[in-house]
Structure 1
């Protein structure tokens, strides 16, 4: 059999995420395999065990147990899981020892460039069969959804043979060549994805939520730029997948809570049933024999409906639902796509549930209770508000290319006009008030110089005997649109049951929200600078030096005409700005972050945009005083950058 090579999964700039590879298994020959066999056998078992113990995750004594089987007739032995799945580097190191009787077999495998990188989206594979008939099969995520395209098709050679298996001299071998797998191009931006993973890990470590998701979407195209969840797992080893095998973005259906009020307000305004100057009694309301409460059970007295969204008043939303009427509200919920799959290219998507069995349940849906949704459904529904009324289907793939060159595009797909442009603008203005107003619930998301609109959410969690109680037994969430006047980014974060409840949930999520938005805007600014160049000859595509040695990266970029600044004392580059594939100005500055202690570069002569790049890649708070180019810095070049606290100041003149 001629094995096909499995195709690759790449990011938005063509950088490899997953690719075909080989792993190796080691075995030892102890007895001749057949009469006259001249194959070398293990001679010195003590030496062999000593040397192998340096490269295998197995103690010398354990290796000796394998090399001294109980049966003297055993001809060869393998070394269990510790001797399988070896990398080429380990195989080569052992081979250089030239140990008699030590041999290898190879197996097709999958190589992932990053250990944790949108793991549940990219997915997993498994090897089915053995030997030449072994094949890699996708079992999760994109690896599963596009398995047929990625797998390709094995080939074979056939000929006529005699009774002893030898090819007849009169026959001619016929070969059907293998067809390698195609390539899947995702919409993910590696820079933002890796940054999101680091932010998620930090929040997970500090506040210990039982589950968490974060998704950044292009509000104008529906492209998912970065997305992750916790718990997550290692793409390469699978470690952690047993903690959370589901793709929470499409498989988990949950009550969204108050973020749903974005759609409630949209429906009320669009249907002509919103009177902002109408007053109502906040605190509680009775519907169908059941009393429904605001999160502040005492309420805020008699207030106008214009404050309901800002204060996140459940009672206010119920009033809007009642004025619309159940039929109108249900109509809008269906238009927004709830209760049906989005069709995103990920396996096992849930359609959620939409309960409208009585007056109480239809009222509670107005504030996100009694309705189960998925993250993708929420992103799709909210896109109508971000995209001036036209709803976009979320997409994680831009195109696929088969081995024979057939291109299938997954471009922007609209789901029709859901609300009027004027409605969308009005709702976005209301989201800005949530951040800016003294009575708003979203002050934690205020960002200096950035036009941010959000809606916060706190959803109860259903248990076996009703909703759970306790301060942390909620799904907290936030949806943001940036810039609110003309959104490019839609960011949606959910955080479930933080066990280390040391801050308000809004402040916990802001530790992801604000840095990620800041970096996205910084990358946009860098791209805009390059786009404003007057001629093609002044721009070029940034090369990838991430994961290369520091000296090689510095030499490569310097030879290409860039100014290179290095942060840290390490020997390997772990991150770069601008990122690979980004259009850059010739002679511009590239900042490299290494794996060593984080040290401050000399910023003399740096522009404000260069200082901003430094802030993004280090995650530190920097401030540039004055205008023009940097001339002084509060931390000397070469000094360690503090881990916590304080703002590093640069003076410009």
Structure 2
């Protein structure tokens, strides 16, 4: 009995013993962990690091604010110092719709009056009140934007909208590039944009000079580093680390804005008339190689983005595309055989057709002109005659001259992405057809470089579009001097070639009589080149590249103008006279600028001033003093583009178009000439259908209406 009592007593004491043992164990573990923590903290305190991270640096970074100081991108100027591309800031508007968006005092920060917001925004955005209201009525959206209509707003427009104190309407700022002239050598100037898929808002050139000289234009960002507390105040005894931004350098071009703007107007008119797949035009000073005007179609407006939708919008046709030039190549084949001393101008040949290496070559007049002297082969543009001449010169000699004229090599004119060209020279047929511009691929810039040799007494000049670069930090100017790259032929040879080019214009049988300019000494060569396809040359009346090159004055050329038109869809004839509507007025205008003004003394003139960036009020005051007619296009108060551009000589009472920030509005065009309407079309990027002759009588879009509301604006002349 005692045994069992003792056993029960021991069983009662065991839980207390177990708890003592368990408590002691836990206490020991706590002691060990405590010493581990003490050791760890001591190590961190002594070494100031954890997991190889410096705690002092981490703490300092917590209170440090780093700010990037943006460098200003360099400005691109024309030859007269007028800005073509410059930095600016644009704004995008958005509206918050979520009714939960309130501040600490429960003030409503969302749109409370959608009708009021829609009405006010429609006055400043190219978007109707109804469409804005529909956007504001979007369901289950925290905020809404207004597409392209709500982007690229000027500071003046932003301030006008802000002045209305609309609840829920806000703005974001974006660095942007201002192109005040709109369509203006767009592919050659290029485009600079902020990255669209990142938070980096630094402008970067994506085409043209903006891309090719991006490093020079960009400069280098600076920085500012400040140590501050949680409230944003600078910490005592802390130092501000400051590194100044280095602004980009400015680039000056050889382009003459007066000639460039006029060329763009002529190109737009011709594009509407013929609807070609592409067109190019370049005006050069052959003495220096400087490009005075350059344009292409299709093109785009870098300011508005109009035209980016076309298939070839991003291609600089002048440098990136190579093509078979056709009969304008005869300028070089004639120069080569004359320079080689093998030209027989008075010998006769049978025109019409010739077979070379199993291939029959025809003249454009397939029946030919009978037996004619070689002196008529050039003005008549006889392919057969030039096959004979190439054979007289010799294949090897002809290829050597092609290389002397610097074909098959990029010109390095200053524009990016230049192609080198190529030539098919394997068979006798291939070799012969290159003499009249088939079987050889060239670029527009290579042709301009070669033409300079003919117009400049044998001295071939490198095409030049950049005249100088000015460092914004030091003021140091790097000037690009005219560069002679070759002397393929003698001055005596060039005189004979220009004489033959005169015959193209002046002889009854010449192919360029349509290019004659009254009172001017003009030398011309026309071309009609077949276009190579996958199964040989294309057929059909419009599957050609029409071209013309002209030099004036022919006795001592100051200008070379070269124009091409590829596959016009609306065409009545298959000759190269289709380009005379560009050539004649453009060359006439250039010659007029180079001479003392011929304006009658009874007519007063004024020099157009730079008005872009000025307030509308000031611009109108300036024009009134010059006795010019200001035409405001838009609801804004700042001029963003003007036409004509600065430096242009104007007659009194001539219209000056002022495109302002804000929504574009239609002016009253009653009494306007067709040329004024074409300038309006170019400036706004809108499509105009002009019918009739004379002066504007009616317009489909009423005056002061938003131009965005109509896809096509019809104006009837009477």
1:62 partnered with 2:129 = no
Residue of structure 2 equivalent to 1:457? 527
Deviations 1:439-495 (CA, angstroms, capped at 9, x unpaired): 110001011101001000010001111111011110010000011110000000001
For 1:206 and 1:449, locate their aligned partners in 2 and report how far apart those are by CA, in whole Å. Answer: 28
Tell me: CA distance 1:362–1:43, structure 2 relative to 1, closer, same or farther (3 Å): closer
Q: Confirm or deny: 8 A CA contact 2:327 2:529 kept in the other structure.
A: yes
Q: State whether structure 2 residue 464 is matched by structure 1 residue 402.
A: no
2:522 and 2:553 in contact (8 A); partners too: yes
Cα distance 1:431–1:186, how it changes in 2: closer, same or farther (>3 A)?
same
Q: Structure 1 residues 320, 37: closer, same or farther in 2, change over 3 A?
A: farther
- After the TM superposition, which residues 411-430 of structure 1 pair with which residues of structure 2 at under 5 Å, given as runs? 411-430=481-500
- TM normalised by structure 1 equals 0.82
Structure 1 CA distance for aligned equivalents of residues 526 and 93 of structure 2: 55
The reply to whether residue 470 of structure 1 matches residue 470 of structure 2 is no
Instruction: Tell me the distance in 2 between the aligned counterparts of 1:77 and 1:568.
Output: 35
* Residue aligned with 1:116, SS: coil
Match of 2:387 among 287, 308, 318: 318
Deviation at 1:143, TM superposition (A): 0.8
Aligned counterparts of 1:428 and 1:215: Cα–Cα separation in 2:
19
**Residues 178-211 of structure 1: CA distance to partner in whole angstroms, max 9, x if unpaired?**
2222211111111111111111111111111111
- State whether residues 129 and 135 of structure 1, in contact with CA within 8 Å, keep that contact through their aligned partners in structure 2: no
CA contact 1:120–1:232 (8 Å) conserved in 2: yes
Correspondences of 1:207-218 after superposition (within 5 Å): 207-218=274-285
CA 1:546 to 1:502, structure 2 compared with 1: closer, same or farther past 3 Å? farther
Q: For 2:620 and 2:93, how far apart are their aligned partners in 1?
A: 38
Residue matched to 1:36: 104
Whether 1:506 aligns to 2:568 is no
Query: Are residues 1:334 and 2:406 paired?
Result: no
TM-score between both structures, scaled by the size of structure 2: 0.75
What is the rounded CA distance, in whole Å, between the counterparts of 2:149 and 2:506 in structure 1?
57
Post-superposition CA distance 1:467-524 (Å, at most 9, x none): 1101111001000001111000000000111111135643320000000111111222
Q: Output the CA distance in 2 between the equivalents of 1:485 and 1:295.
A: 30
Indicate yes or no: 2:432 matched with 1:363.
Answer: yes
Change (3 A) 1:39 1:316: farther
Contact map agreement 2:250 2:471 (CA 8 A) in 1: yes
Q: Indicate if the aligned counterparts of 1:547 and 1:574 stay in contact, CA closer than 8 A.
A: no
Which of residues 179, 186, 197 is equivalent to 1:112?
179
Q: Which residue pairs with 1:5 in the alignment?
A: 72
Relative to structure 1, the CA distance from residue 177 to residue 418 in structure 2 (aligned partners, 3 Å threshold; closer, same or farther) is same
After TM superposition, the structure 1 stretch with the greater mean CA deviation from structure 2, 81-90 or 107-116, is: 81-90
Structure 1, unpaired ranges of 5+? 530-538, 601-613, 620-639, 645-653
Aligned equivalents of 2:113, 2:469: Cα separation in 1? 51
Q: How does 1:69-108 map to 2 (within 5 A)?
A: 69=140, 74=142, 78-79=145-146, 81-108=148-175
Write out aligned runs for 1:116-195 (5 A). 116-128=183-195, 133-160=200-227, 167-195=234-262
Partners of 2:192 and 2:674 in 1: CA distance = 38
SS of 1:139's equivalent? strand
The aligned runs of 1:553-572 (5 Å cut-off) are: 556=622, 564=627
Q: What is the aligned length? A: 588
Distance 1:551 1:403 in 2: 32
Question: What is the match of residue 592 of structure 1?
Answer: 654
Q: Does 1:438 align with 2:508?
A: yes
> Is it true that 1:251 corresponds to 2:313 in the alignment?
no
SS at match of 2:494: helix
Equivalent position to 2:355, from 283, 286, 296: 286
